[in-house]
Every structure is written in C-alpha cells, then in structure tokens.
Structure 1
Amino acid sequence: MKKLAFDTKLVHADRKINKPQFGAVHESSNNSVLFEFEDVQDLVDVFQGKKLGHVYSRSSSSSAVSLQNILNELEGGVGAIVFATGMAAISATFLSLLKAGDHIIVSQYLFGNTRSFLATIEGFGISVSYVDVTELSQVQQAHNENTKMVFCETIANPVTQVADLKGIGEWCEANNIIFALDNTMTPSVLLDSKAIKASLLLTSLTKYIGGHGNVLGGVLVDTGLFDWSKYDNIDEIYQVENQQHWGLTQIKKRGLRDMGATLAPQSAHLVSMGLETLTMRLRKTCANAQALAKYLVTHRGVRAVHYPGLDKHPQHERAKSLFKRGYGGILSVELNDSINPHEFLNSLSLVISATHLGDTRTLALPIASTVFYENGPEERRKMGIADSLIRISVGIEDIEDILSDFDSAFAALL
C-alpha cells in the first residue's frame, strides 16, 4: 500500500500507528495506576530505562503513549511527551532544561500566561530577554555567552505578529541554541516545523488539536534536529544510549515524573478523537477567518484588523511562505472610539464571550482588560495591544451567520 496522505493518516493514526488490541479502532482509555510484572527483574529494567514499559501512570501509561506516538509521527519527531495542559508542557520543559545562570531570548509578544511564567523563572536566576522576533537582528543582538534557548510563538496571540521562524531556526542551528517553538496556533496541518529547524515543539492540545473545548492537554515534541551531546545541562544519569533522547529523558524524569503534570487517560482519548478532524476543522476555520477579516477591514466601525492573511499585514508575505493551508483562526480588531468594546461584545448573539480559542465555535473577548491586564499599559503598548482590542477565535459555523452577527452588533451601536 502506498504511503498515506497526511489527512488520511490523521483519521487512521490510532489503529495504524498503535494497533489497539482486539481489533479496536481506538486505543482504549487505560485507567490503571499500577502495572504488574511477573518477573521482578523486568520491573527493575523498566525503572532503569533498559526496557520499555509502564511502572506507574504518573510517568507513563498506554493511553498517553498511544497519543504521543501519533503526535510525534505527525511532526516527524524522535519522541513526544504529553502533559496535563499546554502550560504544563512549557513549564516542565523550561524547568527541566534550564538552570540558574542561564539566559533565554523570548518573544516580546508572548501570550499572557506564558509571559507570567517567565517572570516566575526569572526569580530562579534564569535571565530573560524580550525581543521583537519578527526581526532576526533583534534576536542576534540579545545573544549572550550563556544563551541556551530562543522561544517564540509561530503567530503571536492576539495581534498576530509572525516571527522570522526560518531565520531564527537557521541562526539557532548555527549557534547550537535550542529553538523552542509554540506552534499551538499553527499545528502540523499548517506548518512544517522541521523545515524551519525548530528543535522543540510545544503545543496546547486544548486548542485546535482537541478542538471541541472539552479537554485540557499539552505536548512536547523533539524534532531530532538539536544535538543534545553539545548541551551541558543534561545530567549524566539522563545521558541514555540514544543521544537523540537525552533531552526527552531529562524532561520526562524531571518535568513529568517529579512535577507530576500527567495527562489523564480519558483526556488522551478525547484528544486523539478530536485530532481526526483537525484538517477539516482548520480548513473551515481559516477560510472563515479570512472572510471575517476582509469584512472587518473595510467596516466604518473598525480602526484596524490584525490578521496574517490580509495583504497589508506587516508579515503577510512571510506568512504566505510559511503556512501551507491558511493563516490560522485568530484575528484581532480595534474598534473605533465611538464603540465601547464591552457593549459591542454584549451585542453579539452567536459569538460567545469566552477566553478559550481553537474551538469549533466562534469566540471573542476584550484583551486589555482580561488576559493581558496584569501586564500593565506600558507592556501592552510594546506588544501592540490597544485598549479597544478584541480577539476573535473563529469557528466552523456558516460564514454568513458569523458576518450577520457582526452586522447586527455594529448596527445596534453605530
């Protein structure tokens, strides 16, 4: 049989990659916390990493491993680890690989919760430089002798700045620096992360991959492009036979076993179910977002629209070269001064006011007074977040219904 196309692989991944027992199409949700070994030596060997197996479900289970196998294969990596949330994946990775005295370069446009976590690790003695990642020169200028990592999002949330992913990836490779990339906004359906030389992929499974607002999860994928033998923060005990797995081993032992942010078996099952329709949902979402952006950009009630699919977006040409099937489902809009953002959102009837994104339903919320409130006016200004900014996560509804809802809201306030 010929090699399966990507979309077909999504639908059949569970049974083709994992081959569940008894002819099941999906891997079952295994809720056992403990695992029996008839020979104690087998238990010892699994504990010591000499054999594959499960000893305690906080560290691994068949449900988690089956999802890891799928996500890893879709990204073409050498291994993956799933976590209870996307933030758990980020925090476990950073705390496992970095130590006091290290320096990292990160995007100045980072999402609010990620940014607040970085403020936390600064208290542990890890220095952080915030730069404009749309310009490679800004990253290069921030480089120090103790720089261990560059971290950014593919498309910034919420003002949609697109990082110079290709330039950063090539520069990190040349300088033996980890390029950690949050590709939540652009899963593998939209972006080939290995092509831009990302070292580690960090993704919130809660968003587009799960897709239905009913499960939390996160994943780390190691693309296999980083040489861990040249990274001096890997403890000797985690330097396993396969050098490509050194980083994964340390993150799994420290970030999952020790910190305990384990993805529940039923959550793993729900994520794998949602994954099957990822391409179909993203196609509709991207098309809807493009249409809504074009509608909003010419409306008299709007000052500005931020969406990479618009010709006037500062990184439109870059986005066109990077993203294979669309420009994502997130856009943000600045309303004219005559419209109160809260009143506008209250005037929408189909669109839901909620802080989630990547759902099948269209969602919207005021950004400055919610997610980025703690950052303060000056930091928001640096990130391009206006007080009137509304973030919209576009769903898969009929586009005419979405446009009609916005029409009605504008009509009520103008």
Structure 2
Amino acid sequence: MTSNRGFTTDIVHSDRAFGSDDGSVHKAVHTATQYGFEKVEDLIGVFQGTKKGAYVYSRQGTPTTAALEAKLTAMESGVGTVCFATGMAAISAIFLTLLRAGDHLVASRAVFGNTNSLFGSLEDLGVGVTRVDATEAENVAAAITPKTRMVFVETLANPGTQIADLEAIGQLCKVRGVLFVVDNTILSPYLFRPGGIGAGLVVHSLTKSICGHGNALGGAVIDTGAFDWTDYPNINAAYRKGDVRQWGLTQVRKKGLRDMGATLSSQHAHAIAVGAETLALRMSYTSASALEIARYLEAHPAIAKVYYPGLPSHPQHAQASKLFRAAGWLLSFELKNPGDCLAFHDRLQLAVKATGLGDTRTLVIPVAHTIFWEAGPAVRAEMGIADGMVRLSVGLEEVSDLIADLRQALG
C-alpha cells in the first residue's frame, strides 16, 4: 500500500497491490493444509528459519491469511501482523507467549469480561496482575514494579466506554521500558491508531469492527514498531535473530499458532478481508447514528445515564475529541427503573437481543444479567455496571428507525 492514498483506497486495492492469483481483485481462498517443496533443502530452510516467505503447514498460516495480515499491518501503520481464530486467541497468545511465571502485568480494570477472566487464569499460572483505573495514568505508574513487563488497556472499554489515559500511559511505558498493549477492537484503525501514542502491540477481535458483518470469527496481533525488543527478557534465543522489529511477533506466531494452534481459517480470513473494505464507511455511519441515539437517550426521562464518548457529559469526552476521528458504534445507558430492564428488551422490535458486537444489525443486551453475570455483584459495582445497564451496538439501520424502536420500548 502507498501512504499518500486514502484509507479505503488502499484497502480495496491491497490484494492487487501485493500481487494476486490470475489477476483476481481478491486473494484466493487457499484451503490446502500441506505445502510441498521441490528441494528438501528448502523444506529444511523453513524449519531452521533461513528460508523466508514460504508456507509449510497451514496451522502457521496460508497465503489467504498472509494477505489479510499485510492489509492489517498497513491499516495500523505497523511492521507486522499475526492472525488468530478469535480475538480472545490473539489476546491469550500475547499473554501466554510473552509473559512468564513471576512477571507482572498492569491492566485496566475496565476490560472485556472474558479478558478479565483470562487475567484470573494468568494469576493461576504465576503471573501477577494488578487491575487499576487506567483513566488516570498515575494509577498505572503507581502499580508498575521492577517485575512489570506489560501494561494492557482497551481504547474504548466495553460496556462502560471508559477511555484510558492513552497518551500519558504510552509515555510512561516508554520511559519505564514496559511493553504497552492496546486492544483497539471497538474503534478500529480507521478511528484511531494506538501506535501513535506509543503502543507496541495492538490487538483486535476482527469479528467486530473490521469484519463488521457478523459472519466470521478472527483476531489479530499487530506490532507497531514502537517497542524495542532487544531488552525484552522473555524472547527465546531461537527468535533473537534477523529484524529485531519481528522478534516479538515471531515468538507470538511460533508459540500462539504452531504450539497452541489457534489458527484463523482461510475462509474466515477471506470474509474478514472483504468486510474490511467498507470499514471507513461503516465506522463513519454507525458513529454518527450512535451519537444521535446517545443525544436522544440523554434527554429521555426514563434514562438515568448515557455512556458515550461523543457526548460532552462523558468524563473523557475531551480526550476522545482530541484522539479519535469519531466515537464509534458502542454505547450503554442505564434505565431509571432497573426492574424494567428485561421487559424493555422484550419490547424492542428492531434491535436484536444478542451478545455480539460490531454487526450490520443493531444488537442489544442487559449487561449485568449476561456478559458480567459471572463476575458477581462486587466486581460489577467496582466496574460501575448497574443492574439497569443496557449495551447497544449500533448497526446500519436508518437511525430514525432505531430511535423509533427505542421510543416505543421506553414508552
């Protein structure tokens, strides 16, 4: 891709730019699991790391997944990408391949429920985890110890839409020599690129914003080139060769794909790549709709509070306005009468009652009763998740229809 062209122009022409089979505008879907070699020396070279750019077994990638990886690298202005079967596989690969027993992780308290559950598994394996309010960088600074290897935040927290103090944390991690990892799933690289504030690794659930059509699972880890791997102690000796910018991703790929097998299929990689072509259009449209809905809800007498960074009432509105192109498709709100929460959902006729995010259809879910039920009331209270909280993932329907549906359900 060329940097002087538009975001969408580069995406829709990326497969042709990198070379495609038989002149096709999309990379072919490669379904083979085996890759043969004319000379056994070339096969040996792949295993020993002296032959680059060859495929040996599809568990570690295919030409189809490689094309998607190249597209994602360009979208985040990075130096490399590794794709996975799901977003949680991508996050797990980062933690399980780059952290060791005795290491310490500082993480935002406001993260996706399954990510929070994964922190518990890391603690069981001997990795210390400190959860902090990352909206203030001083809380992160106070939690860092000599054993801290990594700081992890989301650009926009789900479901409370808290925004970490991104610029300050990025500077802090640079000074302390700590790897800064940012989950950019909800905003996407169109609305924000974490590499610009010092994130060394960016993670995505490709299922959400980037694919955007609710028809494929996927995840990705992207190296922005902002972190110097030479001093990171957990890189295996076997991977400390060649381009130092690739050391971290090489370990993530070898351990996360070869050893753990969390492989993205070529079929899903193709669907994600096609979905990504409309990313800018979808993010612009859904962000505008979400803002209009948020304004409507904030003025409604049945609503106690609305959580959306595009509103001036949001605690991090100034930061969102400075850093993000728009505020995205995710918003949450609290009903004044929590007892009406389930009946309100059942009265909705257009919004789909579902657990997913980032679909073409608007999705709605009662947060405390579902995705954060396992966390328990104490954790929910700590995270600010009220019993009457409703999460809305805004889709591509006309916003007038969505507001009409909300109006009748609230009425």
What is the aligned partner in structure 2 of residue 384 from structure 1? 384
Q: Which amino acid aligns with 1:329?
A: W
In the alignment, is the contact (CA less than 8 A) between 2:200 and 2:227 conserved in 1?
A: yes
What is the aligned partner in structure 1 of residue 51 from structure 2? 51
CA distance in 2, matches of 1:174, 1:132: 20
What is the aligned partner in structure 2 of residue 42 from structure 1? 42
Q: Which amino acid aligns with 1:165?
A: L
Q: Which amino acid aligns with 2:244?
A: Q
**Residue correspondence of structure 1 range 300-311 to structure 2 within 5 A:** 300-311=301-312
CA distance in 2, matches of 1:223, 1:15: 24
CA distance in 1, matches of 2:56, 2:3: 37
What is the aligned partner in structure 2 of residue 312 from structure 1? 313
Q: Look up the SS of the partner of 2:332 in the other structure.
A: strand
Q: Deviations over 1:236-282 (max 9, x none)?
A: 01112111111011111111100000000000000000000000011
CA distance in 2, matches of 1:197, 1:397: 36
**Residue correspondence of structure 1 range 197-216 to structure 2 within 5 A:** 197-216=198-217
CA distance in 2, matches of 1:140, 1:224: 23
Give the aligned CA root-mean-square deviation in angstroms: 1.1
Q: Look up the SS of the partner of 1:340 in the other structure.
A: helix
CA distance in 2, matches of 1:3, 1:330: 30
What is the aligned partner in structure 1 of residue 69 from structure 2? 68
What is the aligned partner in structure 1 of residue 141 from structure 2? 140
Q: Look up the SS of the partner of 1:284 in the other structure.
A: helix
In the alignment, is the contact (CA less than 8 A) between 1:191 and 1:323 conserved in 2?
A: yes
CA distance in 2, matches of 1:230, 1:116: 30
Q: Deviations over 1:118-145 (max 9, x none)?
A: 1001100000000000000000000111
Q: Deviations over 1:211-258 (max 9, x none)?
A: 000000000000011110000111101112111111011111111100
CA distance in 2, matches of 1:149, 1:237: 22
Q: CA deviation at 1:396?
A: 1.2
What is the aligned partner in structure 1 of residue 266 from structure 2? 265
**Residue correspondence of structure 1 range 12-27 to structure 2 within 5 A:** 12-16=13-17, 18-27=18-27
TM-score of the aligned structures, taking structure 1 as reference length:
0.97
**Residue correspondence of structure 1 range 93-172 to structure 2 within 5 A:** 93-172=94-173
Q: Which amino acid aligns with 1:7?
A: T
Gap runs ≥5 in structure 1: none
What is the aligned partner in structure 2 of residue 401 from structure 1? 401
Q: CA deviation at 1:338?
A: 6.8
Q: Look up the SS of the partner of 1:327 in the other structure.
A: coil
**Residue correspondence of structure 1 range 325-340 to structure 2 within 5 A:** 326-337=326-337, 340=340
Gap runs ≥5 in structure 2: none
CA distance in 2, matches of 1:14, 1:166: 33
CA 1:405–1:7 in structure 2 vs 1: closer, same or farther (change >3 Å)? same
Q: Look up the SS of the partner of 2:138 in the other structure.
A: helix
CA distance in 2, matches of 1:69, 1:342: 44
Q: CA deviation at 1:7?
A: 2.0
Q: CA deviation at 1:154?
A: 0.3
Q: Deviations over 1:164-208 (max 9, x none)?
A: 111111110111100000000111100022211111000000001
CA distance in 2, matches of 1:293, 1:323: 17
Q: CA deviation at 1:337?
A: 1.6
Q: CA deviation at 1:162?
A: 0.6
TM-score of the aligned structures, taking structure 2 as reference length:
0.98
What is the aligned partner in structure 2 of residue 234 from structure 1? 235
In the alignment, is the contact (CA less than 8 A) between 2:7 and 2:280 conserved in 1?
A: no
Q: CA deviation at 1:3?
A: 2.9
Q: Deviations over 1:46-75 (max 9, x none)?
A: 111211200000012111111001100111
Q: Which amino acid aligns with 1:396?
A: L
CA distance in 2, matches of 1:11, 1:254: 32
Q: Which amino acid aligns with 1:40?
A: V
CA distance in 1, matches of 2:15, 2:355: 31
What is the aligned partner in structure 1 of residue 282 from structure 2? 281
Identity %: 46
In the alignment, is the contact (CA less than 8 A) between 1:301 and 1:339 conserved in 2?
A: no
Q: Which amino acid aligns with 2:180?
A: F
In the alignment, is the contact (CA less than 8 A) between 2:338 and 2:388 conserved in 1?
A: no
What is the aligned partner in structure 1 of residue 33 from structure 2? 33
Q: CA deviation at 1:304?
A: 0.5
CA distance in 1, matches of 2:410, 2:354: 20
Q: Deviations over 1:55-101 (max 9, x none)?
A: 00001211111100110011111110000000000001110000000
In the alignment, is the contact (CA less than 8 A) between 1:209 and 1:278 conserved in 2?
A: yes
Q: CA deviation at 1:339?
A: 5.3
Q: Which amino acid aligns with 1:243?
A: V
CA distance in 2, matches of 1:340, 1:240: 60
CA distance in 1, matches of 2:193, 2:401: 32
Moved more, 336-345 or 309-318: 336-345
In the alignment, is the contact (CA less than 8 A) between 1:14 and 1:272 conserved in 2?
A: no
CA 1:338–1:87 in structure 2 vs 1: closer, same or farther (change >3 Å)? closer
In the alignment, is the contact (CA less than 8 A) between 2:212 and 2:275 conserved in 1?
A: yes
Q: Which runs of 4+ in 1 moved over 6 A?
A: none
CA distance in 1, matches of 2:395, 2:338: 27
Q: CA deviation at 1:410?
A: 1.4
CA distance in 1, matches of 2:3, 2:100: 47
CA distance in 1, matches of 2:75, 2:183: 16
Q: Which amino acid aligns with 2:249?
A: L
Q: CA deviation at 1:2?
A: 8.9
In the alignment, is the contact (CA less than 8 A) between 1:64 and 1:268 conserved in 2?
A: yes
